[in-house]
Amino acid sequence: MGLKNKLYPILDSNSFGRAILQTNRNLREQKRTAAIVSGTHNFIDRSKGGDKLCIILAGYKPTLWEDVFNRIAAYIPSDVDMCIMTSGLENDDLKAIAAEHDWSYLSTSVNHLSVVQNIAIECHPHAKWIYKLDEDMFITKGFFEAMLDTFVKLEEESLYKPAFVSPLINVSCYGHLRLLEKVGLLDDFRATGLTDMKFSDGLHHNRQVISEPRVARYMWGETQPVLRDIDALTEQFSVENEGFRYSICPVRYSIGAILFTRDAWDEFGHFPLTFVGGAYGLGDDEEHICNYACFTGRVMVVNENIVVGHLGYGGEQTKTMVEYHAEHRDQFRLKA
């Protein structure tokens, strides 16, 4: 495992030299992290051996699980294998959820997000299509089908080659502005003064999107009722009502709900066993797959017919939104 084929932009002799140095650093990093790869893991295999796999990282937001997993159970097609993953821990409640729905469960002894995802994919050798979710993503009807249809359609009919496909996510550095555009609330949101009103990665500017609790509460409809019902928004934006709609994200994308291929995973050398994002590899997978998209001529595609709810990013925003979820359960529950 490790970085088998990380690509770097070679623009001139200096950048070529930097690429060689980086390759050497990668080799040293591979040796340093070899013990991680061979660390213990527990895989309860209930897969059907199909060509579609959904992996979900979970373990730290238990109050969300009933609503998150009920939605997945209701909308996941029968030909998609499901695997719940816990990194660095084993959780009996998640094991029970997996058993209840006849899903697989994977836990690792080492807490590194790239490791657990790589192992999950390796444990499903026949999976060609890989959906990746986080435990604070509330999917809506048609999510799985729309992601696959979008990927295939762009491959066959568009001028683009996709790296991955994502839905329109409400609390997202890119998705929040597109959603506000579609429902006519850009000026209303601008008047709040909460953000810089720019498409961004949320890291170099417009950081309010990933840190400010009021942004997340606004995008979940605290003051605008139209934003409170992600299921109604998905119906409103459906192919039947709007026709096929997608956009291309031009900045680093947050990968809490995406579809990519096994071929891509192999081509970008699997998720990286580095510590760029800290001890747990937080954000390393995102940086790696977005780098792959940018430097191999592929695009990050957002299907705009499907709306998915994201509770929020980390820190104070997540803490506040966990409380918001508890106080507004009807917004998040699977509709009967």
- Tell me the β-bridge partners of 310: 137
pLDDT in the model for residue 38: 54
Residue 197 has pLDDT above 60, yes or no: yes
Residue 179 has pLDDT above 90, yes or no: yes
pLDDT in the model for residue 276: 53
d(CA 87, CA 115): 8
pLDDT in the model for residue 15: 46
The fraction of the chain above a pLDDT of 70, given in percent, is 87
Question: Higher-confidence residue: 7 or 277?
Answer: 277
**Of 211, 170, 215, 171, which Cα lies nearest the Cα of 192?**
215
pLDDT tens-place string over residues 87-101: 999 999 999 999 999
Pairing of strands 80-87, 129-134: unpaired
Task: Tell me what the mean pLDDT of segment 142-147 comes to.
Answer: 98
Could you tell me the pLDDT band of residue 274, with boundaries at 50, 70 and 90? Answer: confident
pLDDT in the model for residue 19: 43
pLDDT in the model for residue 31: 43
Which residues, 6+ apart, have CB-to-CB distance to 56 below 8 Å?
72, 82, 83, 84, 85, 132, 133, 134, 135
**Of 332, 300, 286, 279, which Cα lies nearest the Cα of 139?**
332
| Alpha-helical regions (H) of 46-112 | 65-75, 92-101
pLDDT in the model for residue 256: 97
The fraction of the chain above a pLDDT of 90, given in percent, is 81
**Of 175, 183, 243, 179, which Cα lies nearest the Cα of 209?**
175
C-alpha torsion sign, points 146, 218, 84, 287: positive
Could you tell me the pLDDT band of residue 40, with boundaries at 50, 70 and 90? Answer: confident
| Alpha-helical regions (H) of 108-174 | 113-122, 143-157
d(CA 176, CA 199): 9
Calculate the alpha carbon distances from 234 to 70, 228, 258 in Å: 17, 12, 17
pLDDT tens-place string over residues 20-31: 344 444 544 444
pTM attached to this predicted model = 0.88
Could you tell me the pLDDT band of residue 1, with boundaries at 50, 70 and 90? Answer: very low
d(CA 216, CA 317): 7
The DSSP string of 92-105 is HHHHHHHHHHT-EE
Task: Tell me what the mean pLDDT of segment 278-296 comes to.
Answer: 87
Residue 334 is classified by DSSP as P
pLDDT in the model for residue 277: 52
